[in-house]
A and B are shown apart, each in its own frame.
Chain A
Amino acid sequence: MQLNRRQSKRLGIYIHIPFCRQKCAYCDFYSYPPHDERIYESYVDAVISHMKSYKSVGADYSPDTVYIGGGTPTCLPPEEMLRLIRGIRSSFRIQKDAEFSMECNPATVDYDTLRRYRRAGVNRLSIGMQSSNEGELRALGRIHTLREVRDTVRAAREAKFTNINLDLMYGIPYQTMQSWDETLHRAVALKPEHISLYNLKLEEGTPLYKNASNYVFPDDETEFAMYTRAISYLASCGYRQYEISNFARPGYECRHNLKYWKCEEYLGFGPSAHSYFADVRFSFKKSVSNYIKSVRGVTNDEMTDDYEQIPLRERVGEYIMLRMRLCEGIDPREFFRTFGKDFESLFGSKLMRYVKGGFVDVSNGTYRFTPSGMFVSNYILSDVLDFDADGNFVI
């Protein structure tokens, strides 16, 4: 037994539910409201048989996180969701203390459903609150109200969820510092263990992008002020920032998302899902029908979209790109242990001007973005990192 446990490697499992009740105006994730509800059953069938095909993985791996995201996972009829959860458990040896997250939208779940999911093993609920302001929610094309957020949180607590995340957004049309403060206060009042703050980005092809000229967006200065305000306010309420967009009470950091930023392995299932496994990054095409057919073997259609081997030098670049998202930043000693290279001689001089400018902090020997550095992190990372003609990192 001892030997067995040591051999089991950790793994994250991501399941994409590409369905929602109504597409939000800003959303560019692969998700749509299905016109025929029979798709749910065949989709869950496909995901389960797809997972089963990875059964051999179970010999070496034991997942310690599961994340059901979307879309709106809670769009699935509860019977289908429960079947899916059972499918995950029968395909992989999920660790006992695994973090098992599910995303949900307010007004798509009730107490009974949440209770059943909690009993099935889901132990972390991520609720898309976004804003407490009716006008802002409407501009985003959200289908819920603040009251429904409160009801969902209450129902989740009653269903014995002890780890709840609220997603909030800033940079919404018409949003002001005042309304942002209000949203933050109301979110904190619901006492979530975790809060994520997302800066609204206009994604090409979304309705919000097309109609952008009809809206007034907060300017960059205001957005930066919103960001720093949130950091200090949440800190004062006991939420520690651990990543650019993520805040948690100690011990409630999202272990699944941390895998992305720490270059750990994860397998994603479903169309548009991404995986990083055995030094390969790959993803599946954004088509439910293609996915179902491919899994069933009905067609020979390739369902893989991107497929990329990640050699060592790429890992170094990714490490920097992703680690710098974390507040703990990069510890040169750990960098040396991981790659056998001296971080400071590789990047120290390039980073120095940003240290001087107050964008990077090295006061305790690790390199970390300050809040103003996080807000311009692409600018700094694209300056510090080099790419070859094929778009791979050059170290």
Chain B
Amino acid sequence: MTDRQKKIRNFSIIAHIDHGKSTLADRIIEATHGVERREMEEQLLDDMDLERERGITIKARAVRLEHVAEDGERYVFNLIDTPGHVDFNYEVSRSLYACEGALLVVDATQGIEAQTLANAYLAVDADLELVPVVNKIDLPSAEVDRVRAEIEDVIGIPAEGCPAVSAKTGQNIPDVLLAIVDDIPAPDGDEDAPLSCLIFDSYYNAYLGVVVYVRVMNGTLRAGERIRMMSSGVEFDVVEVGYMRPLGLDKADCLSAGDVGYITASIKNVSDTKIGDTVTHADRPAAEPLPGFKEALPMVFAGIYPADGARYNDLRDALEKLRLNDAALSFVPETSVALGFGFRCGFLGLLHMEVIEERLEREFNLDLITTAPSVIYEVDVRGGERVRVDNPSNYPPPEVIERAYEPVVKASIITPTDYIGGIMELCTDRRGTFHDMKYIDTSRVELHYTLPLNEIIYDFFDALKSRSRGYASLDYESDGYVESKLCKLDFLLNGDIVDALTFIVHEEKAYARARKIAQRLKDNIPRQLFEIPIQAAVGSRIIARETVKALRKDVLAKCYGGDITRKKKLLEKQKEGKKKMRKLGTVEVSPEAFMAVLRLDDDN
């Protein structure tokens, strides 16, 4: 280990959502004078509006800080912030691999939650030194000692005397800085060995091209050198290397083993800089790529359509812009009879999907119609071929299906014991397979289930929260495919199938879903001049029906006293509403009504 390396500390902060991860990061940045107080914005690392509003971190961030310790030595802190949500588990794991240690933040009033555990396991898997930090000690209900004991019992790391802080008020933050210096190991790695850098994040900048965030494991990288991405073999000439400062990029001569920094190389496309990939020199490559690289695979799919069909091209441009910064987002054009031209989009999970939808609407000012989220089903069709289905309306007809498979996840749910009954009932209702239940302490348990992913994406999280008054927490990871009895549920309006309303459901769920969606269609389709039959069908079998009665009357403006303008405005308003209508077959439905039908807001 070189003297330079001895003064570097590379670490992450991991926590359950809302336990104060980003606030602690702000305090550390402040305490190391990384940012002048007046420049300090709340949650500096979360620079998307959406992240600040929701208090979540969507993309990983990194920042280099300098800290003068009590002994007068100057240390480099590379703080790598990680996303806290299960959708981004892979990104978290890559960020962790870039570090030697992690601060495990636990809320002194809540104790350990599902994501605390999941992230702690990821950190242990990555061989990190864990430094527990108990946060929110300023709250009256803080139980510092109980939470310390819980950390020792459940995670099995010493926590006695660990920093107990209030990131909000700044209380005891120096203890954290001390623990970083003392407890987190310095990086090693050979500065002269062949180059290997781990990519843990990247984003597109209009002036620099893709900015790649890396941790140098071995070797030294300088501007002007030719690099190769080991997964794809694509090569680039490095334009610039440097460090990430809290308020911008800071050019440097080189990045060496142990450093965290950025590379620019006139890279046009973030998909060339896959997270987890290894960067090496083209002329003297590393023998092996760093372990653990995976392609980020979308798990959840939905059709996204512009509410105004004329804005199809705007939607395409917007998706392309977002993909510049989000290699996990996939989209291909698709056509729906009901919704016109749009895109079948793939997401890492529901949160990722929501984030993309919100960004399309806010940053690109688009009104969207989004179909119900679906997963990829696999079907063995007669003749031995296996097909993957990411759009329910492409699901093969029952007569050609030999076997069908659906993706499942291993789920871990932590809940106060009071809610075990309701949660087990929910999991059973969602076709879960129970594995075991472990007591974390006398009042909380961890439940393990295998659950179909399509049940998780159908409002599972909200149902879980409502059955536990918000106390239960969930984490899950993909666990392959299992054979399943699935069927395709179609909805017909006026006798025509509405492709955008097709679902794949488990046989047992077909009736309940059919009745519910039919009822919602009835409640949300505005009356029209003719009666509209609504039918739910599995194959040719109708399993539920409703009717939207014909419109009998509308407002007969009096035209009293010759107020013609008012009448005209009324007609114009009505016309305006009609323009936004989408034709589902012969039936006109507003985008709002369509979305209301697919609204996921209650159990089952």
Contact = CB atoms under 8 A, between A and B. Distances in A.
Interface of A: 12, 14, 16, 29, 69, 198-199, 201, 220-221, 223-224, 227, 244-245, 259-261, 266, 268, 272-276, 281, 283, 306, 308, 317-318, 321-322, 325, 354, 357, 359, 372, 374-383, 385-387, 391, 393
Given A220-B553, A223-B552, A375-B552, A268 B572 contact: no
B561 A274 contact: yes
Contacts of A29: 560-561
Interface string B558-575: 111111110111111011
Contacts of A357: 529-530
Given A321-B571, A382-B575, A391-B568, A377 B563 contact: no
Interface in B532-587: 549, 551-565, 567-572, 574-576, 578
A274 B564 contact: yes
Contacts of B530: 357
A224 B561 CA distance: 25
Contacts of A14: 561-562
A14 B549 CA distance: 42
Contact of A376 (B553, B561, B568): B553
A168 to B, nearest CB: 13
A12 B562 CA distance: 10
22 contacts: A29-B561, A199-B556, A201-B556, A224-B552, A268-B561, A274-B565, A275-B562, A321-B571, A325-B559, A375-B552, A376-B529, A376-B552, A377-B556, A378-B555, A378-B570, A378-B571, A379-B551, A379-B574, A380-B529, A382-B571, A382-B572, A387-B571
B571 A385 contact: yes
Contacts of B568: 317-318, 321, 391, 393
Given A201-B555, A383-B578, 17 more contacts: A29-B561, A199-B553, A244-B556, A268-B562, A274-B561, A281-B565, A318-B568, A325-B559, A359-B529, A375-B552, A377-B554, A378-B556, A382-B571, A382-B574, A386-B575, A387-B576, A391-B572
Contact of B565 (A220, A259, A306): A306
A245 B558 CA distance: 8
Nearest to A264: B562
Given A385-B571, A387-B575, A378 B561 contact: no
A375 B565 contact: no
A224 B553 contact: yes
Contact of A283 (B558, B563, B578): B563
B559 A261 contact: yes
A379 B575 contact: no
Nearest to A272: B561
Contacts of A276: 562, 564
Contacts of A354: 529
B555 A391 contact: no
Q: Which of B562, B570, B575 has the most CB of A within 10 A?
A: B562
Contacts of B576: 387
B559 A260 contact: yes
A224 B557 CA distance: 16
Contacts of B560: 29, 69
Given A29-B560, A198-B558, A244-B556, A376 B551 contact: yes
Contacts of A387: 571-572, 575-576
Contacts of A374: 556
Contacts of A308: 565
Given A224-B553, A385-B575, A318 B562 contact: no
Contacts of B569: 391
Interface in B512-543: 529-530
B12 to A, nearest CB: 53
Contacts of B549: 221
A260 B562 contact: yes
B529 A381 contact: no
Given A321-B571, A383-B578, A387-B575, A220 B552 contact: yes
B397 to A, nearest CB: 34
B507 to A, nearest CB: 39
A375 B553 contact: yes
A382 B578 contact: yes
Contact of A379 (B554, B557, B567): B554
Give me the 6 closest cross-chain CB pairs, A-B, nearest first. Answer: A382-B574, A220-B552, A224-B552, A274-B562, A382-B575, A378-B554
A260 B551 contact: no
A393 B419 CA distance: 61
A283 B565 contact: yes
Nearest to A243: B559
Q: Which of B567, B568, B575 has the most CB of A within 10 A?
A: B568
B562 to A, nearest CB: 4
Contact of A260 (B529, B564, B574): B564
B553 to A, nearest CB: 4
A358 to B, nearest CB: 9
A274 B568 CA distance: 14
A283 B564 CA distance: 10
B556 A375 contact: yes
Contacts of B571: 321, 378, 381-382, 385, 387
Contacts of A272: 561
A159 to B, nearest CB: 25
A359 B575 CA distance: 18
